[in-house]
């Protein structure tokens, strides 16, 4: 018997292509009240309409730039206009950038989009998550985090030296440190927080870095990558399966719980990253955060 998400509110970020789109479509097919969130308004509207047609279940959308604090705050505010609670949050939006890019907030793009986006959006929606029914936060991380032995707090945003793969790996390690720290802070509530590695997936990921790199990324993904449908299975599983009810602070790949790297379990680093993230986002952060 298929899992029913009837009357469950769902928010999926980065849902206009790849595993985010598949995740949103399948959670809608299960009956979830899905809202998709991405930057391009026209694409959001078209994808929401296509999922609605495919599933027969109305899908809402919010268009906002999750690489900026104002964009994240806008997204959270818009969602709160639509809903009084949130049962499932899938943090999926992210990117890979060959060159060091600075956001309007003065932050390095990989760190801002891949980590601070998850941190700030989740915290801004935390009151709605606590009001949900056994709510779930699902953070899409990556096996790339194992490339690092620890967070490099002296080069957190590539200030001293920027290497694209190091920046990406560090942002994915940050996803895990955030996941485990948030789970600790939510002990005693009905909200669970888990992370996952989707595998190497054939999507549009990393194809924003110029023609030559894009051609290479596309060929590599076609040859070695799994389909978005397969890559999305663990996100869908963690968002919907009764098998993980009550499971929190865990890391999954191919719908199976596994250990992440030793560095990801460093509680001191997790707390340090939390406090840095809190300070950086203080301009738009909700007042009461412990």
Q: Based on the structure, what is the number of domains in the chain? A: 1
Strands 256-258 and 250-253: antiparallel
Whether residue 288 is contained in a domain is answered as no
Residue 289 located in a structural domain: no
CB neighbour list of residue 108: distance below 8 Å, 6 or more residues apart: 100, 101, 102, 157, 158, 159, 162, 167
User: CATH no. for residue 161?
Assistant: 3.40.50.720
By annotation, the residues acting in catalysis are 168
Residue 177 lies in a domain: yes
pLDDT at position 289, please? 44
Q: Distance (Å, rounded) from C-alpha 66 to C-alpha 113?
A: 6
Q: Print burial letters for 184-220: b (CB count within 10 Å at least 16), e (below 16).
A: ebbeeeebbbbbbbbbbbbbebbbebeeeeeeebeee
Q: Is residue 285 part of a domain?
A: no
Whether residue 207 has pLDDT greater than 70: no
Query: Confidence band (pLDDT; 50, 70, 90) for 281?
Result: very high
pLDDT of residue 200: 64
pLDDT in tens, 65-112: 999 999 999 999 999 999 999 999 999 999 999 999 999 999 999 999
- What is the arithmetic mean of pLDDT over 240-257? 98
Does 3 reside within a domain?
A: no
Tell me, yes or no, if the pTM score tops 0.75: yes
Q: Which of left, alpha, beta for 188 (phi over 0: left; psi -120 to 50: alpha)?
A: left
Does a structural domain hold residue 218?
yes
* pLDDT at residue 2 greater than cutoff 90: no
CB 209 within 8 A of CB 96: yes
Structural domain boundaries, residue 270: 9-280
Instruction: With respect to residue 52, please indicate whether it lies within any of the assigned structural domains.
Output: yes
Residue 290 within any structural domain of the chain:
no
pLDDT 10s digits, 130-159: 999 899 999 999 999 999 999 999 999 999
Which residue(s) pair with 73 in the sheet?
Answer: none
């Amino acid at each position: 018997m298929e899992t029913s998400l009837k009357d469950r509110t769902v928010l999926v970020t980065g849902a206009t292509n790849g595993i985010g789109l598949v995740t949103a479509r399948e959670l809608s097919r299960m009956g979830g009240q899905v809202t998709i969130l991405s930057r391009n308004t026209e694409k959001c509207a078209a994808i929401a309409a296509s999922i609605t047609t495919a599933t027969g279940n109305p899908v809402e959308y919010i268009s906002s730039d999750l690489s900026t604090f104002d964009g994240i705050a806008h997204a959270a505010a818009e969602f709160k206009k639509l809903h009084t609670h949130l049962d499932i949050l899938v943090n999926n939006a992210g990117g890979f950038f060959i060159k060091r890019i600075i956001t309007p907030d003065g932050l390095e793009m990989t760190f801002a989009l891949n980590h601070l986006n998850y941190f700030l959006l989740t915290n801004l929606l935390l009151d709605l998550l606590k009001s949900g029914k056994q709510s779930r936060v699902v953070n899409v991380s990556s096996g790339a985090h194992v490339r690092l032995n620890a967070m490099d707090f002296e080069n957190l945003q590539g200030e001293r030296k920027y290497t694209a793969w190091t920046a990406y790996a560090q942002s994915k390690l940050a996803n895990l440190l955030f996941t485990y720290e948030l789970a600790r802070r939510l002990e005693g509530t009905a909200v669970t927080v888990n992370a996952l590695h989707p595998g190497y997936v054939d999507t549009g990921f990393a194809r924003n870095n110029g023609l030559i790199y894009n051609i290479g990324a596309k060929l590599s993904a076609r040859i070695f990558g799994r389909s978005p449908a397969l890559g999305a299975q663990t996100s869908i599983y963690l968002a919907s399966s009764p098998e993980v009810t009550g499971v929190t602070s865990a890391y999954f790949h191919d719908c199976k719980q596994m250990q992440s790297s030793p560095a990801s379990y460093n509680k001191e680093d997790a707390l340090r990253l939390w406090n840095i993230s809190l300070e950086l986002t203080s301009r738009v952060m909700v007042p009461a955060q412990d």
